[in-house]
Amino acid sequence: MAVPGTKLDPQLLQSTRKLLWGNGVKEEVFARWSQGFVFSEHEATALIQHEGGPCAVIAPVQAFLLKHALFCSEEASENLDVSEELAISFLIHGLIEMLLQLSTERYIIVTLDKGFRTAAISDSNGSTGSVESEAGSTNPKRARMDKENFHSYLRCHECADAEQLKACVKEKISSFTSDYGVLLFLYSVVLSKGIEQIKNEVEDPNEALIDGTYGHGSQSLINLLLTGRAVSNVWDNDKEISGLKMRGIQKQSYIGFLTLLEHLRYCEVGWFLKNPKCPIWLLASETHLTVLFSKEKGIVFPATQEVTAKQIFQRFDHEGNGFISTSSLAELLQELDLGTEKEYVDVVRNKLDSENLGIITLSSFMQEFYPDEGSQGCPNHFIVFHYNGLSRSCPHSKVCFQEGTITLLVQEEYDMQIMVEKTIVIFSFSLSLSLHIYLSIYLSIYLSIYLSIYLFLYIYQFLYIYLYIYQFLYIYQSIYQFSLYLSIYLSIYLSIYLSFLYIYLSVSLYLSVSLYLSIYLSIYQFLYIYISMFLYIYLSISFFISIYLCFFISIYLSISFFISIYQFLYIYLCIYLSVSLYLSIYLSIYYKLNL
C-alpha cells in the first residue's frame, strides 16, 4: 500500500520549483497551468486545454490515452465514443504507463491537501480573475490560488512498486481531473524520476523545463513524458559533435513526435520518433502541440535488423553525408557483429569501394549485407485523426477529433501525395539517397577539377608576370651594359683623339718655333706664325673642352669602379695622359712666350 500523503521537504520543494520554473514564474503563466485533465463535451476521449502553455503535458497524456483506447486496454475499440467511466479508465492507464516508463525504484504521486479546497475558494472570493472555458466564455467559478499557497498544500504519496502505483493513481484520479491536476501529475513525474537524474539527462541543467515568462514546455519535458528520459534532442541515439556528447532517443517509443522545425531545418527527428510502435504522433508547431493518430497499425513498423544497421551506420557518419570513410569499416562490421578478420574486412572494403574513392555509401553497404530487407508493406489508403485541445483553434470552437484521409502514391523516387479532406499537399522527395551521394561525388570531382584549373591558371599568370619582370630586368641590364660599353668605347675614342691631338699640337709647336725663327726673314713667315698662333688658341679651347669631357668621363669611370677593376685602371690612364698633355701644352706655350 502507498505511504500516506506527507508534506514535501522544503529543500526538495525548492529544488523542484527551480527545475520546473527556473528562478521565477509569472502568476499569469502559473494560472494558465492550473487546470486539470478535463474531457470535452463533444468528444468522449478528447482532453480540453483551456489556455496556452500546458499542451506540453496535456498532449502527451492525450496520446497515451488514445494508445490505450485504441490498441492496449481490454476495452480497446476503434469506436472512441465511449462512456465517461471508460474514458476515465483510459486516462488512468495512460497516466500509469507514463509513470512506469520512468523506470525508477519508487514512484511518488503528488496531490493537494484536503484543506486546499476551502482555502482556494476563500482565496478566489477576493480575486477578479477568470478562465476561458471550452466554448470560449469565461468561468468565474473556477477557484484560483497563487503559486505560494499552491506549493504549501502539496502532499506526496510514495509507492514502492508498480502495483502500489496503479492502486494509488486509481484512488487519486479525482485530484488529476480537478483544478491543478496537470501540475500535480507533472510534479509526480519529476519527483518520481528524481531531480538529479533529470539534471544528468538534460543538455543544460540550469534550463527550466517550463519557461516562466511565456509558459511553454521545453523539448526535455516533452521527451521525458514521451520516453521517460529528459534528453534535449530528438535524433536517434547519442551523437558526438565537436567533442561534446549530445544525447538522443535510445529506442523506438510507443508515441511518436513530428515537428515543423524539422521542415525548417532547425532540428532532426530520428527514426525512433518518426516510426513509433503505435500510429500516434505529437505534432509540434512553433507554439503549440497537437496529436495526429490513426487506427491503422500497418503504417508503423517494428525495428528490424536493417533499421538497426542503418542507425549504427549513421553513428559513424558524423556529418550525415550518407557515406563513411573506409577506415571506419572495421569498427562498423565489429559493431554489427558481421566479422572482424582483417582479410575479410579488406575483401569487403575492396568490393564496396571498387573505385578507390575512400568512402563507403549507405546504399551499397545495405545492398551488400541486407539485400532482402526492404520497406514493409504500408496501406496506400488510410484514415487519420487530428486532435487540438484548444477550443478556439478548433472548428466551431468544439474540441473533437478531425478526420482526414491519406492516399499514398509511392513511385520510384517516393513521391507522396496526401489528400486530407479535399486538401492536397504534395511532398516530393525528388532525389534518392544514392543519387544524392553520386551527385555529391560528381560535384566534389567537378570542384576539384575546377579548383585545379583555377590554381593552374593562377600559377601560369604568376609565372607570366615573373617572366615579364625577368625580361624587363634583362632589357634593363642589356641597356645598362650597352651604356657601359658605349662609355668605354667613347673613352677609347677620346683617348685616341687626344693622342692624335697631342701629335698635332707637337707638330704645330714645331712649326710655330720654325715660324718664330723665320719672322725676321719674311712677312710671309710672320703671317704664318700669326695663323699658327690663332690655330693654337683654337686648339687650346678644344683642349679645355676635351679636359672637361675627360674629367666627366673619369668621374663616370670612377663610379664604374665596382663593376670592373679593368675600367678603373683604364680611366686612370686616361686621366694621366690628359694631365701629361696639359702640362706639355702649358710648357709649350710658356716656352713660346719666352721666345
Residues carrying an active site annotation = 55, 288
Q: What is the helix (H) or strand (E) element at residue 198, kind and residue range?
A: helix 195-201
Q: What is the CA radius of gyration of the chain?
A: 51
Contact assessment for residue 364 and residue 382, using Cβ atoms and an 8 Å cutoff: no
Alpha-carbon gap, residue 33 to 51, rounded angstroms:
8
Alpha-carbon gap, residue 195 to 66, rounded angstroms:
29
* 38-41: long-range contacts, CB 8 A cutoff, minimum separation 24: 38/177, 39/84, 39/87, 40/134, 40/398, 40/399, 40/400, 41/134
Report the residue count for the chain. Answer: 595
Q: List strand residue ranges (DSSP E) for 4-57, in order.
A: 6-7, 38-39, 47-48
Closest to 110 in 3D by CA, of 21, 162, 181: 181
For residue 88, report the phi and psi dihedrals to the nearest 5 degrees.
Answer: -65, -40
The x, y and z cell numbers of residue 421, run together, are: 479532406
Contact assessment for residue 290 and residue 387, using Cβ atoms and an 8 Å cutoff: yes
Task: Supply angle C-alpha 81, 86, 88, rounded to 5.
Answer: 110
Query: Which residues does 172 contact at the CB level (< 8 Å), separation at least 6?
Result: 109, 111, 157
Which residue blocks in 519-563 are alpha helix, DSSP H? 523-559
Alpha-carbon gap, residue 495 to 572, rounded angstroms:
12
Contact assessment for residue 312 and residue 320, using Cβ atoms and an 8 Å cutoff: no
Alpha-carbon gap, residue 591 to 595, rounded angstroms:
6
Q: What is the helix (H) or strand (E) element at residue 300, kind and residue range?
A: none
Alpha-carbon gap, residue 70 to 519, rounded angstroms:
156
The x, y and z cell numbers of residue 127, run together, are: 480575486
For residue 271, report the phi and psi dihedrals to the nearest 5 degrees.
Answer: -65, -35
Taking CA atoms, 76 is separated from 281, 294, 485, 486, in Å, by 18, 14, 113, 115
Closest to 282 in 3D by CA, of 223, 324, 331: 223
Which DSSP symbol is given to 210? B
Task: Supply angle C-alpha 88, 89, 93, rounded to 5.
Answer: 115
How many CB atoms neighbour CB 505 within 10 A?
Answer: 22
Alpha-carbon gap, residue 341 to 333, rounded angstroms:
10
Burial of 186 by CB count in 10 Å (0-12 exposed, 13-18 middle, 19+ buried)?
A: buried
Contact assessment for residue 399 and residue 142, using Cβ atoms and an 8 Å cutoff: no
Alpha-carbon gap, residue 80 to 102, rounded angstroms:
28
Contact assessment for residue 228 and residue 278, using Cβ atoms and an 8 Å cutoff: no
How close are the terminal C-alpha atoms of the chain, in Å? 159
Which DSSP symbol is given to 418? E
